Amino acid sequence: MTRELAAPGRSLARSIALGSALMVGMAFAPVASWAADSGPADGCEGKSNLSFGDRFLSVYSDHLKVEPTMDPPDPKTYNGVPPAVNNPPYPYSTWNMGGTPAIGYENMYYGALMDTIYCGPDGKAWKDSRVTVYGWLQPGANWSSSHTRFNFTSGTGGNFPAAYSYEPNTIQMDQIALYLERTPDMVQTDHWDYGYRFTGLWGTDYKYTYTNGILSNQYTKNAQPYGFDPVMMYFDFWFPKLIGDGVNIRAGRYISVPDIEAQLAPNNLTYSHSLLYSFDPYTYTGVTASAKLNKNVTVQLNANMGSDINPGDRIDGRPTFGACLNLVTNDGKIDSYSCLNQMNGGNFAYNNINQYVTTLYLKFNEKWHMDTEFWYMWQTNVPNALFGTLGQNTGNAYWDKFYGANGLFSTSPFPNGQGAPFAAICNNSSVATCRASEYALVNYVEYQWTGRDFISIRNELFNDQQGQRTGFKTRYSEHMIGWTHWIGDTITIRPELRYEHAYDYNAFDNPTGYVDPTSASFNPTTGHRSQLMLAADMIIHF
């Protein structure tokens, strides 16, 4: 079944509105405990007497005129090595570390909406509470050399395996996001503190964030091109005196721990994502403890029931563990971050991949830096797409469960190409299952020439060794150049040009064909080896 992009149905729109209203209501709940009329925060001269709407327009106009600085931050504002780069224009100031706020740094984020609230009658109390509400709208568009529509049944076609712009030659709303957040004060070391984040995301990108078993039927059953996902729901607990320079414990649903990239648009260097990022874990529901032993060394331990899976799932959920080590130099210019990620044996189940991953960040000078990531992933006992192609009635449990007793079924055993996502193309047709593995290497070179602008150059290699992640047993390369430009500190524009190539099969533009069981190879009769895409998005922060 192929679906065109369409407007959301009324029931989904009502659920988004209800969820957003609930989040905003939770955010305003602290007001009830404050003394009436605590007064506006400092710096609100000329705005505090305006109506909320007029105040918002005035504040937003001011944010559009902000000139981002290239000056380093005041050392009094952090405890640790110097922040690496400026934010904006970059999506980060400290090198990325998942599963925790940046320990020793101020992580509180707010934009025009919170400045409007701060200039209201309870603005000072709002600011002191550290509770913030913010978000963004992210429309995007692409032109692609591929022309077939994305197929929601097979999970291929369109621009696949490129992400997140899977539908070619279209304009879409990638993300509308709303955050309710309190960040713990992790600069101070006198007392414990807490934080939380509740994030609602609506748009086409929910396809890449949902957890199987949590509102997943929007995609897996109904193939809705637009959907809603409560992508982050967690609490942080900060204990500054527990170990070394402090420990943060995060519990709930949160973004996967390693990686240069992130699902949420403002946290990513570019509009599109690398193949490396598109096929590894997205979210965990569990616990991560991050201990900063000193300013140079941080260790992490995490536990969950598997990536992108409802922890109550008795079939595909299973106890999973991980550990990470982060090392950074005194000047903050060199950072390495390595993880044994999602370790549980990797037996075939919904997205039950095990992974070794490492990232390396190098700052050459105030203009140039480089981000590099490598991972190796695998699953064991993956059903063989070739098994049974010669007509044997196997009775094998894997085959019977997912494919039936005879014939070839090379698409996913899970709905809509998600999760596993595909059967393995093993080395021969005589085995029912085999180990499926893949490795990837991506490199970003970043150049900042103004406080508003930077260039990203991305090059990567992705090898799907048994075709289990993309459906094609092939090596890929991807090359991209992108430009990020800020208007003030509130609107981001990111055009890019991307070229990718599959070395062994026609993997692009919805190829069709057949598998030759003798050579254990896929012989495409349509499709293309390469794909060229011009894309751009705009992030409108509020």
For the record, the structure tokens of 518 come out as: 């003798």
DSSP string, 247-300: EEEEEEEEE-S--S--SSGGGSSSSSB-HHHHTS--EEEEEEEEEE-SSSEEEE
Residue 331 domain flag: yes
Calpha distance 349→335 (Å, rounded): 34
Calpha distance 516→425 (Å, rounded): 11
Residue 289 domain flag: yes
pLDDT for res 522: 54
Distances 526 to 102, 149, 159, 507 between C-alpha atoms, Å: 48, 14, 15, 9
- Helix (H, G, I), strand (E, B), or coil: what is residue 464? strand
Residue 248 domain flag: yes
pLDDT for res 5: 34
For the record, the structure tokens of 494 come out as: 């990111």
Domain that holds residue 236: 10-541
Calpha distance 9→14 (Å, rounded): 9
Residue 97 domain flag: yes
Closest to 37 measured CA to CA, from 126, 142, 158: 126
Per-residue confidence of the chain (542 residues) as pLDDT tens digits? 222 333 333 344 444 444 444 444 554 445 445 545 579 999 888 898 999 999 999 999 999 999 877 777 777 778 999 999 999 999 999 999 999 999 999 999 989 999 999 999 999 999 999 999 999 999 999 999 999 998 887 778 899 999 999 999 999 999 999 999 999 999 999 999 999 999 999 999 999 999 999 999 999 889 899 999 999 999 999 999 999 999 999 999 999 998 999 999 999 999 999 999 999 999 999 999 999 999 999 999 999 999 999 999 988 899 999 999 999 999 999 999 999 999 999 998 889 999 999 999 999 999 999 999 999 999 998 888 777 554 344 444 444 444 443 333 344 445 445 555 677 888 887 888 899 999 999 999 999 999 999 999 999 999 999 998 988 899 999 999 999 999 999 999 999 999 999 999 888 997 765 555 555 555 656 789 999 999 999 999 99
Domain with 123 in it: what CATH number? 2.40.160.10
Instruction: Please report, in angstroms and rounded to a whole number, the separation of the first and last CA atoms in the chain.
Output: 37
Residue 228 domain flag: yes
Residue 3 domain flag: no
Calpha distance 412→396 (Å, rounded): 17
The burial class, CB within 10 Å (0-12 / 13-18 / 19+), for 356 is: middle
Amino acid at 315: I
Residue 2 domain flag: no
The count of domains in the chain is 1
Residue 479 domain flag: yes
- Helix (H, G, I), strand (E, B), or coil: what is residue 512? coil
How many Cα atoms are found within 13 Å in the side-chain-facing hemisphere of 116?
19
Calpha distance 279→284 (Å, rounded): 15
pLDDT for res 404: 43
Dihedral of CA atoms 278, 281, 282, 286 in degrees, nearest 10, equals: 180
